[in-house]
């Protein structure tokens, strides 16, 4: 249960709407119990008065009938208001929680993200966050309402017969203490399986969609479909088991309700309080007993889903409570020599180091190229400079200021990185370009597209062209040039390029390199090609994590 406390404390931000929702739930439950109890007594009393000619004219039909209508209207209005208030408060909490999850995820460096799969993160942000609405809607609110309603039933019945009130109270309290724990135990394993199966199915579906081409080309689609079907069957089995427990809980509660009704009728058959025989009061006791179980039914059902809620909380807490292993300082960016001294770095689980005693100096305005075989550490060096990873030992300084003391905002504003893989967002052409320069005008966007040879994209819908998820309308070379256009828009004076022209034809490659290098930017250019090397101040060769 300790896994839920961080989320329960989060509810304090909307405590007043939530408390109001609980109050409305209490009013709804009391109105429902009052409606059934008063209706049962009214029918019995009316029938009893009608049988006796002497009392037929003395019985007041108006007050009870008004009470029945009043309880009916109150229950309807209170239930509607409770749904509106409680769900509004819950959605606000889920919105806040989803935002906090994204805020906690966003600053995580590559080291902390490497074990997280996209399908798993999607499941946590969507399904697991949604599951936490059970804490308030199915657990806190029904539990408080049940306690208050049971106390109200006992107090009301004690006006007529204290012994019957104590018996009913003992039964209801006993069931409130035992049934939730019983169904929590029964639902623990299926609830955990439901969470795991939902996560597994999302991951498998995400893998199927993202790798659809490769699965089709290599004839592995049937095997992947079988894997998805297995995950789906596990989910269905868990849901079936939980639905079976729901049916069992309803059956057991109805059975216990019937037995309790028989017990109360037996105890009150001869006398209720000072009234013997009890007459219509016996109907009041019976219908009150039947109605009182409405307080317990939601609670028993809530606890069978508690393990599912706990599993969701356990999957969210590691992200929400994770302290990034890589931190930034508050120093401003200062132009000066970028110096790497005795850098050593190994990826987690790797046998050989990616960098070994690496040394490098880059002066402002200088342009250097780094060449070498695949896997020799070229891209790793750029990732250390951009603070994606932290070196195991050694240090990186800028103007004698340790790079890790520079603020993240200042670092991102002055350092432009062109990575091997360019991500195209599911947005317009203009939106995809403006992530590099949010204030860029349309004229600047048109100009930069022309500089990288993408002006033909403007022929149909102009800058409003929708690029879709992953840039589906674009070829590989066009997507690459979108990344190059972003680099031209970015105001940073330091440019890190990791195979920026991969997949481009020779003419286009030469054109975009001329655009990128025709400035006073400091450049580190990682490449396998010869293009652009003649414009470098230095060309360095890297071998096994060191410069030769």
Equal CATH topology for 2-321 and 338-547: no
Q: What is the pLDDT at residue 306? A: 84
Q: Which pLDDT does position 217 carry in this prediction?
A: 87
Identify the pLDDT of residue 487.
Answer: 92
| Amino acid 52: pLDDT | 53
Quickly name the fold that domain 2-321 has: ABC transporter transmembrane region fold (1.20.1560)
Query: Domain ranges in the chain?
Result: 2-321, 338-547
Q: Tell me the sheet residues that pair with 339.
A: 361, 397
42 Cβ partners below 8 Å, 6+ apart?
Answer: 64, 65, 67, 68
**Partners of 396 in beta bridges:** 340
Do the beta carbons of residue 523 and residue 497 sit within 8 Å? Answer: yes
CATH of domain 338-547: 3.40.50.300
Average pLDDT score over residue span 174-184? 90
Q: Following CA atoms 77, 79, 83, 86 in sequence, which dihedral angle do they give, to the nearest 10 degrees? A: 100
pLDDT band at 254 (very low <50, low <70, confident <90, very high): very high
Confidence of residue 50 (pLDDT cuts 50, 70, 90): low
Residue 325 makes CB contacts below 8 A (sequence gap 6+) with 109, 111, 112, 390
The residue-averaged pLDDT of 531-546 equals: 88
Phi, psi for 390 (deg, rounded to 5): -110, 130
Q: Which of left, alpha, beta for 373 (phi over 0: left; psi -120 to 50: alpha)?
A: beta
Residue 129: its pLDDT value, please? Answer: 87
With a pLDDT cut of 90, the percent of the chain lying above it is: 38
Contacts by residues 154-161 (CB-CB < 8 Å, ≥ 24 positions apart) = 156/288, 157/285, 157/288, 160/272, 160/273, 160/275, 160/281, 160/284, 160/285, 161/268, 161/272, 161/273, 161/285
CA dihedral 267, 268, 273, 274 (to 10 degrees): -110
Tokens of 327: 């931190």
- Residue 478, judged by CB atoms within 10 A of its CB (0-12, 13-18, 19+), counts as buried
- Cis preceding linkage at 277, omega within 30: yes
pLDDT at position 58 = 64
Query: What are the pLDDT digits (tens) for 100-120?
Result: 888 888 877 777 777 777 777
């Amino acid at each position: 249960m300790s896994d839920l406390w961080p989320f329960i404390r989060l509810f304090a931000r909307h405590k007043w709407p939530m408390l109001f929702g609980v109050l409305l739930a209490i009013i709804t439950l009391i109105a429902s119990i009052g409606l059934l109890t008063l209706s049962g007594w009214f029918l019995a009393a009316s029938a009893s008065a009608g049988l006796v000619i002497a009392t037929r004219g003395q019985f007041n039909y108006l007050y009870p009938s008004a009470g029945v209508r009043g309880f009916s209207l109150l229950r309807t209005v209170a239930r509607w208001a409770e749904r509106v208030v409680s769900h509004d408060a819950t959605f606000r909490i889920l919105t806040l929680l989803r935002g906090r999850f994204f805020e906690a995820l966003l600053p995580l460096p590559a080291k902390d993200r490497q074990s997280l799969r996209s399908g798993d993160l999607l499941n946590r942000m969507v399904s697991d966050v949604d599951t936490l609405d059970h804490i308030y809607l199915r657990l806190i609110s029904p539990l408080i309402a049940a306690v208050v309603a049971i106390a109200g039933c006992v107090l009301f019945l004690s006006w007529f017969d204290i012994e019957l009130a104590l018996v009913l109270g003992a039964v209801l309290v006993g069931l409130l203490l035992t049934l939730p724990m019983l169904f929590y135990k029964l639902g623990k394993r299926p609830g955990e399986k439901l969470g795991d199966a939902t996560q597994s199915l999302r991951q498998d579906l995400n893998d199927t969609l993202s790798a659809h081409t490769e699965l089709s080309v290599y004839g592995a689609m049937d095997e992947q479909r079988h894997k998805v079907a297995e995950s789906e069957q596990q989910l269905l089995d868990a849901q079936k088991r939980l639905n079976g427990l729901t049916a069992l809980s309803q059956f057991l509660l109805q059975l216990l309700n019937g037995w309790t009704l028989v017990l109360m009728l037996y105890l009150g058959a001869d006398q209720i309080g000072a009234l013997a025989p009890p007459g219509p009061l016996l109907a009041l006791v019976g219908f009150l007993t039947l109605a009182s179980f409405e307080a317990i039914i939601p609670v028993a059902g809530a606890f069978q889903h508690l393990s599912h809620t706990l599993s969701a909380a356990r999957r969210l807490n590691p992200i929400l409570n994770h302290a990034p292993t890589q931190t930034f300082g508050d120093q401003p960016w200062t132009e000066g020599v970028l110096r790497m001294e005795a850098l050593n770095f190994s990826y987690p689980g790797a046998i050989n180091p990616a960098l070994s005693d690496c040394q490098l100096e880059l002066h402002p305005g200088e342009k250097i190229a780094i060449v070498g075989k695949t896997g020799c550490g070229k891209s790793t060096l750029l990732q250390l400079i951009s603070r994606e990873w932290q070196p195991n030992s050694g240090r990186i300084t800028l103007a004698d200021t340790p790079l890790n003391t520079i603020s993240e905002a200042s670092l991102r504003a002055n350092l432009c990185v062109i990575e091997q893989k360019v991500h195209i967002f599911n947005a317009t052409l203009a939106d995809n370009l403006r992530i590099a320069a949010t204030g860029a005008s349309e004229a600047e966007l048109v100009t930069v597209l022309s500089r990288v040879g993408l002006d033909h994209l403007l022929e149909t819908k102009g800058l409003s062209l929708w690029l879709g998820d992953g840039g589906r309308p674009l070829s590989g070379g066009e997507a690459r040039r979108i990344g190059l256009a972003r680099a031209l828009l970015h105001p940073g004076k330091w440019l890190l390029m990791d195979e920026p022209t991969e997949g481009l034809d020779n003419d286009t490659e030469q054109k975009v390199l001329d655009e990128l290098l025709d400035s006073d930017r400091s450049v580190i250019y990682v490449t396998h090609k010869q293009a652009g090397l003649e414009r470098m101040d230095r060309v360095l060769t890297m071998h096994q994590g060191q410069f030769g």
